[in-house]
Structure 1
């Protein structure tokens, strides 16, 4: 999808900017390619810089309740330092590397409800304008897909996915938020787990898989969460029996072996989001019948996800201003005509 917007800080007669991303999903740690298309206005301008911002909708819970907002999680200067003549058309190609922890937005072609975007900032004549916003689609790395497929084969069901503002203690997390994929347990584990949350923290050498089980309250005990973490390599994905390996992880989590148990939250958390207790987790471990597979599970579950989004953005902070994240071509055209 291509969006157009008049450079508002310059006013009527200013240049316009279109950012066109290469088609298809990109992978975490992979290269995002495309081009920024500029068209000069009714006068010549000096283009000082063209900057791409990666933005994400995130959730956070603080003492005053739950909030949603947008976080900038990377910036790239892809051009600038040239004049743009009156009515001149110019294309600036780019290829930038996504952070390894970039969240996955789709699995097997089904949207997970995670909203990412690429915003283009154009600096002209000492003014800046965030004049273009395009949706960013990110697919899973092979090892992420293998783990999720194994969970589907084991019978775990896809429930939802979101981005939580905060950090998981004891990990190599780089971004100011992390992705949680929520799953419903198999009947085998339903009596000891109400739901499972999976977080992937990828890096160039491999990936940390953080598992959290929401354990129900017992007659003589309060509810609690069990967390454990495993590290896996990007290499040799096809040569491993992931169903057996992941089943072993879940058995350990259910039994509490290698897992840290913490009290379940009963109210709003702190700046670490709804699962602030994850920040305390520092233990590292290396290390039922077949179901329908996560592809089928996601196809059934993701269709019902609400993909609401919010506007406003500040670096490494969550804001509360609610609005439309992506505007339609019709809305943009109306804005241009009115300008």
Structure 2
């Protein structure tokens, strides 16, 4: 899935704008740098401000609030009925007012910090199929056209990568990765959407689980890991409701446990036991009241 092309020139004979990112992937909370390139049209224009905008293609269920709409009040760019829209999740003024003469070329460099909850688009350099972009919006003469979004590559934090590698070592497989509209209740989630990574269970848990959906919610000094267990059908399946479990590890400084495989396997066992013990009565989910604080696994002071 890709972004649709935005209008190019800012009005007939107006300037054109392009967003160019520096090479390489950026991590959540890291610095994104690049430049906005403007080329004057047939007449001079007064550019009031250059604003950089982070955007994402987000999926929504039919009839769900926000379906086909942006979280920033922008009409969605998805095809009719496809349950997708472009959501803006960050805006940064990167250039002040200036006069762009006819035919003049000008560059506006920028360096901005990504939100800590920015979704991960690749793992070990392999794309996960998500669509993130960066576009520039120069307010020129009252016009508000934007550049085409430049594709944004986001690599995982070391702790995120360690968790995903542990799932792989434990026999779980990557089924899907997507962006879903809405927040997870009881967490400190800030963005209006969340990344969900679907994992197929290992042989050990195949009789108990159909899928685990993994969501990372990072803050400057910690990583909250949300596991949503999709239980196989049966009398205690809860009518399809999923159970959430939350765990927290640091991701900066001396942060890593000595054995990520054991830590993650403990998370899985706890999630399964929680589900089987409380069935649907202790389930908390998206936009629900906050549950009691989650347990925080102890971690050693080994570097990641």
Q: Same fold (TM over 0.5)?
A: yes
State the partner residue of 1:39.
39
Contact 1:258 1:285 in 2 (8 A): no
Contact 1:227 1:259 in 2 (8 A): no
Q: How does 1:16-165 map to 2 (within 5 A)?
A: 16-63=16-63, 67-165=83-181
The SS at the match of 1:262 is coil
Q: Relative to structure 1, is the Cα distance of residues 259 and 116 closer, same or farther in structure 2, using a 3 angstrom cutoff? A: farther
Contact 1:56 1:116 in 2 (8 A): yes
The SS at the match of 2:129 is coil
Greater RCO between the two (CA within 8 Å, min separation 6)?
1
Q: Relative to structure 1, is the Cα distance of residues 48 and 118 closer, same or farther in structure 2, using a 3 angstrom cutoff? A: same
RMSD: 2.6
Contact 1:15 1:41 in 2 (8 A): yes
Contact 1:227 1:260 in 2 (8 A): no
Which structure shows the higher helix fraction?
Answer: 1
The SS at the match of 2:162 is helix
**Gaps (5+ residues) in structure 2?**
65-80, 298-304
Equivalent pairs, count: 273
Contact 1:44 1:86 in 2 (8 A): yes
CA–CA distance in 1 between the matches of 2:181 and 2:38?
A: 35
**Gaps (5+ residues) in structure 1?**
264-274, 288-339
CA–CA distance in 2 between the matches of 1:30 and 1:258?
A: 39
Q: How does 1:245-284 map to 2 (within 5 A)?
A: 245-256=263-274, 261-262=279-280, 277-280=285-288, 282-283=291-292, 284=294
How far does the alpha carbon of each residue in 1:131-190 deviate from its partner, in whole angstroms, 9 at most, with x for none?
332111101001100100011011100000111111111111000011100000001001
CA–CA distance in 1 between the matches of 2:157 and 2:167?
A: 16
Q: How does 1:178-327 map to 2 (within 5 A)?
A: 178-218=194-234, 222-223=238-239, 224-235=241-252, 236-238=254-256, 240-256=258-274, 261-262=279-280, 277-280=285-288, 282-283=291-292, 284-287=294-297
How far does the alpha carbon of each residue in 1:240-267 deviate from its partner, in whole angstroms, 9 at most, with x for none?
311111111111112227986538xxxx
Q: Relative to structure 1, is the Cα distance of residues 189 and 79 closer, same or farther in structure 2, using a 3 angstrom cutoff? A: same
Contact 2:209 2:229 in 1 (8 A): yes
